[in-house]
Structure formats: C-alpha cells, structure tokens
Amino acid sequence: MRVLVTGITGFAGGHLAERLTKQGDEIFGVARSSGANLKHLNTSIELIAADLQQFEVVEAILARVQPEAIYHLAGQAFVPKAWSDPWATLENNLRPQLNILQAMVKQGSSARLLAIASDQIYGAVPPDKLPINEETPLRPNNPYGVSKVAQDMLGLQYYLSHRLNVIRARTFNHIGPRQSPFFVSANFAKQIAQIEAKQADPVIYVGNLEAQRDFTNAADVAQAYSLLVRQGEAGEAYNVGSGQAYSIHYLLEVLLKYSHCEIEIKQDPNRMRPSDVAITYADNGKLKAQTGWTPQYTFEESLLQVLNYWREVVTKNSKD
C-alpha cells in the first residue's frame, strides 16, 4: 500500500515503520523532528518535515502523496504534560486530525484513516466493570484523555457525516525499545542501566507502584494497526491491548530481576499524578475477532528488550 504515517519519528511511529517496511509498503512519513527512531531501518521512507496544524500544509501533503492509507500517530502523548499545559495538548491532538479529515473531504479521498485514541478516554472504570470493552462509557479524568475522546469522536463524526473510511484504535499502554524515559518502563530501565554502569547511586525513584496497567509490546501494537487498516470496519472502534493488567510494582520487580545490582527503591512525590486510575485492562475480543491479531511478545520479554536498549544507550553515551 501507499501509506502516510504522521508522527513517524516518534516511539510508536518507529515501530510502525518497521512493520510497514517488512510488508513492502511505500511509506511517506510526516514529522517535526529528525528520524532518530528510523536510523536502524535500511529503507527508502520519504520524510516530510511539516506542521500539521496548518491546513494548507496538510492539504498539500495529501494532494502530493495520494495515500491509500493514513496512520495518524502524531500528537502529545504524555499525561503529566497535559496537566501542566492542557490547551497545548488539546490543540496538538485535535487540530492536526481535524485538518486531515477536512483535507480528505475536500479532495474526495477514499484512503483508510486510522485515528489513534487511548485507554485514557475511559477514565477510572470500576473493577466490577472490567475488562474494558468498546461499549464502556467514556469518562476521561485528565486533559489528555479529553483530547483523545475528541479525536475518537471526530473520527466517528466524519465517518457518519462524510462516509470517510475512518477506523478508530483505542490503544492501551505500549512499551519497547526507543520509548522516551518520561514513560514508566523506560524510566526505570534507564535508571537501572545507569546504576549498572556506575553512573548513578543505587537508588530508583518511583511514583505510584500500586497502579495496574495493560502493557503491550510496541511491535505488537504496530501489527494491530496494520491489520486494522487492512481489515477493520470503517466507523468502528477497536481496543488495542494485551487483555492483562500488571502492576507497576511487578514491572519494577521484573526489571530488577534482570539486573545484577542491589538497588534501593525510594518514593518521589513529584512522580505522583493529580488523579490516577487504580486498574485498567482491555477486552481485545473485537480486535481479535475482526483481524485475528495475537500478541507475539510476553510482558517479561518486552521489559528485557527495554532494559537491553537502555544498557546500549548508556554504554554508547559513556564512550562518546
């Protein structure tokens, strides 16, 4: 397929690029930053530096690329940042998708657009209502979740009003190599790697360890995205997640088991969020039934990938 990927140089974008490259797709990627997350790929991805908040820019890109599929991954994805600057998150997440939808309508595009939302749209779901399925009420409890509800509903609205081929993915936590250390598994892994390299004291600083989340390997998420673009039903929403909940405490415990160092754990009040969800995990039955998707990596295998990645980064940085 001839595909356009927004946010291709981000964490999820890099893993999706790997997947699409293996499939032999013709890939055009849009991003504001350099392609650091793509350097390991020996491929002819055409990178387009652009600001998707400008409608004329988006219109020109779609007119030139003429994609058969659009994976819209660009946006602000860090929940604490949304608390500190809610409007920037709303603007960054809404305007680019709206511009894409408007440009598709104007150009009569029949491309299949995958709009990426998040489990944050569901908010705090009572334990007796778990696992979360696509019919679970949307009750976001943070600004990031609100922005993703809006993206999800925009996708539905343009399907209903303009019959655009929009498929909505509601993605739960994903982990893997090259993720920013702003996120929990990468943050812990980086701290451990620095301790192993004797670049830091043997102490890991943590926030809420009791929260339980649904973690999926980013490569498995990329596979789900590709399958949804090809096999998903336009207008429908699909949860993308492993279907299991793991506590942050267990996540840290697994990472520590992979290390040979004795490490102390200390709570850091600055790592606590104004509101947090105790437990969340996906009912992924709809995704599996529609596409046959099955995760290929276990949680523990994924964490070892993350730790080994940060070991390589720390070693490389120490030599530079």
Domain range summary for the chain, segments of one domain joined by +: 2-175+215-240, 184-213+245-279+298-319
264-315: pLDDT as tens digits: 999 888 777 665 678 999 999 999 999 999 999 999 999 999 999 999 999 9
CATH superfamily of 2-175+215-240: NAD(P)-binding Rossmann-like Domain (3.40.50.720)
- pLDDT of 115-151, one tens digit each? 999 999 999 999 999 999 999 999 999 999 999 999 9
The full 3-state SS of 77-129, as one line of letters, equals CCHHHHHHCHHHHHHHHHHHHHHHHHHHHHHCCCCEEEEEEEHHHCCCCCHHH
Average pLDDT along the chain? 94
Percent of the chain with pLDDT over 90: 88
Residue 245 has pLDDT above 60, yes or no: yes
pLDDT at 173: 96
Asked, colleague to colleague, whether 2-175+215-240 and 184-213+245-279+298-319 share their fold, the answer is no
The reported pLDDT for the residue numbered 305 is 98
What CATH number should be reported for the domain whose range is 184-213+245-279+298-319? 3.90.25.10
What is the predicted pLDDT for the residue at 273?
62
State the pLDDT at residue 194: 97
Q: Is the dihedral of CA 276, 282, 283, 287 positive or negative?
A: positive
- What are the pLDDT digits (tens) for 173-214? 999 999 999 999 999 999 999 999 999 999 999 988 999 999
